[in-house]
Amino acid sequence: MQYIITAYDGADEKAIERRLMAREAHLKSVEERVKEGQHLYGAAILDDNGKMRGSMMVVDFPSREELENWLRVEPYVVANVWQKIEIKPCKVAPIFMELYD
């Protein structure tokens, strides 16, 4: 099942520092999930000044339980970067899924 994940960073003064410290591990994790076909798309959410304030991802997991299992070990979750996470089921249009064939 495919999901849109919108994850917002904390608003405290250490939020950017936590994000930058966990960023390399997060990006490595994304690379692994792309290879496994679980991570379809992602982008940083920026504020009006161009600073990273969160993340948006489209992922594909066999079940919500497996999605939750991944979130428990996701570096931005473990490092307390993301402090509000919204998860919505979605369906990526077939024309876009052709990019992964």
Q: Looking at residue 41, what is its pLDDT?
A: 93
Q: How many CB atoms lie within 10 A of CB 22?
A: 20
- Rounded-to-integer distance, Cα 11 and Cα 14, Å: 8
Instruction: Give domain limits for the chain.
Output: 2-100
**2-100 domain in CATH 3.30.70.1060?**
yes
pTM here is 0.88
Give the pLDDT confidence of 19-28 residue by residue, as tens digits.
999 999 999 9
Q: d(Cα 19, Cα 8) in Å, to the nearest integer? A: 11
Which pair of structure tokens corresponds to residue 21?
Answer: 């410290």
53-63 residue pLDDT tens: 999 999 999 99
Task: List alpha helices for 1-101, DSSP H.
Answer: 15-35, 64-73, 75-78, 94-97
